[in-house]
Structure 1
Amino acid sequence: MLMHQGLGLETFNDLPRRKAVHALYECCCSHTWASRIADARPFRSHAELFARADAELDELSDADIDYLASTHRPVGKTCAGMDVATQSVFIDACRMYIERFGYGYIVCSATLDSAGEDPREVLVDLGHRLDNSHETERKVMREELAKVNRIRIERVLGPEEGWPPF
């Protein structure tokens, strides 16, 4: 859970650097990433902030990305909607993924939600990703991390149009 939620872009831009870095660190668990984005303020729009966040994520070293991957919880909650046989296959596929790539399968929760009611869609995605080369999968994993970051930044900022008046 994020400590900083619904700040609004203007308030975020006005935060002291230390607090901005803290709010961003909650989104990504990278001090380097958070510092670079905090130092790039002010942002004129959410889209500008998201673009900078994506660009800074692309600039992180593989070691930094490996650390970020290690901070993500396994996708185990997906198993809740699976029958026992599918759960078993999913768990085995996750193990194979770790053995193949050296880090856990990372998928953005929005991707899980868009997979529809059938959690086996995630198993299909995992199966396809197991066929990726290491280079391709690192790119896909970075894209999933970027999606997660955007969702978390959205929570920090709140809606772009602001909160409705009470």
Structure 2
Amino acid sequence: MTNHPPASRPPAPDEAAGVLRALAAAPAAELETTLLEICSSPRWAAAVASARPWSDRAALLAANATAMAALTAPDLADAMAGHARIGKPKAGDATSEREQAGIQGVDSTLLADLQEANDAYEAKFGHVFLICATGRTAATMLASLRERFPNDAATEAEIVRGELRKINDIRINRLLDESPV
């Protein structure tokens, strides 16, 4: 995802509306690039783009929810492919590092436990453990991983879908709040 500089202040409502209008008016290829930075599923990006113009922030977030609900298993795999393993944010990727800030400075034993639980999860489900890590500590992410491990594949896929929607909502809001018009 593009590394946007942190906002020095919350945007005025008209600034976010300006960003929304600019997104809605962007050429298809440019919009696709921006949307794929939010979620790496091409089907999701196409579905959200096809809902434009969005009347407001809520309409764009609703397009995210609708697109997420329609993703197939392969589409979910595409979306998950854009996410770093919990406990190992992508080096140099400000979005990954920000979203997994809860693992910074944690004890090596906790990181080892997280890695072991990730290994077991990935062996069982065939993909990374996905959780909306924003605002979570390493310990709470590990607890969630262990709590979800007994799930069957269908249950876990629906949880992943919900977590992806939350992540996308955060990324969309950040884009609207921090992008220059």
* TM-score under structure 1 length normalisation: 0.82
Instruction: Please give the secondary structure, in 1, of the residue aligned with 2:81.
Output: helix
Q: Percent identity between the aligned chains?
A: 29
Aligned residue in 2 for 1:150: 169
1:4 CA displacement:
7.7
Q: 1:40 aligns with which of 40, 47, 51?
A: 51
Q: Whole-Å Cα distance in 1 between the matches of residues 164 and 66 of structure 2? A: 12
| Among 38, 55, 59, the residue aligned to 2:66 | 55
Once residues 138 and 74 of structure 2 are traced to their aligned partners in structure 1, the CA distance between those partners, rounded to angstroms, is 31
In structure 2, stretches of 5+ residues that fail to align are 6-15, 89-101
Q: Does residue 1:70 correspond to 2:81, yes or no? A: yes
Q: Judge conservation of contact 2:110–2:138 (CA < 8 Å) in 1.
A: no
CA 1:96–1:35 in structure 2 vs 1: closer, same or farther (change >3 Å)?
same
Cα distance in structure 1, aligned partners of 2:163 and 2:26: 28
Aligned to 2:39: 28
Residue 129 in 1 paired to residue 129 in 2?
no
How many correspondences in the alignment? 156
Q: Which structure 2 residues correspond to residues 95-106 of structure 1 after superposition, within 5 A?
A: 95-106=119-130
- Secondary structure class of the residue paired with 2:171: helix
How much is the aligned-residue C-alpha RMSD, in angstroms? 2.4
CA displacement at 1:9 relative to structure 2: 1.1
Q: Distance in 2 between matches of 1:79 and 1:26?
A: 23
Contact 2:54 2:60 in 1 (8 A): yes
Shift of 1:14: 1.7
Task: Give distance in 1, aligned partners of 2:3 and 2:34.
Answer: 8
TM superposition outliers: structure 1 runs of 4+ over 3 Å: 3-7, 77-81
One-letter code of the match for 2:20? L
**Residue 133 of structure 2: which of 83, 99, 109 is its match?**
109
Higher helix fraction: Structure 1 or Structure 2?
Answer: 1
Q: Which residue of structure 1 lines up, in the alignment, with residue 115 of structure 2?
A: 91
Match of 1:2 in 2: 2
State the shift of 1:86 in Å.
2.0
Amino acid in structure 2 at the alignment position of 1:149: N
Matches of 2:3 and 2:49 in 1, distance apart?
17
For residue 35 of structure 1, give the secondary structure of its aligned residue in structure 2: helix
Q: Pick from 9, 18, 23: which aligns with 2:29? A: 18
> For residues 21-41 of structure 1, what are the alpha-carbon distances to aligned partners after superposition, in whole Å with 9 as ceiling and x for unaligned?
221121111222212221211
Q: Which has the higher contact order (CA 8 A, sep 6+)?
A: 1
User: Per-residue displacement from partner, 1:3-25 (whole Å, max 9, x unpaired)?
Assistant: 78876112112222222222112
Instruction: Work out whether residues 106 and 144 of structure 1, in 8 Å CA contact, stay in contact via their aligned partners in 2.
Output: yes
Structure 1 gaps of 5+ residues are none
Q: TM-score by structure 2 length?
A: 0.76
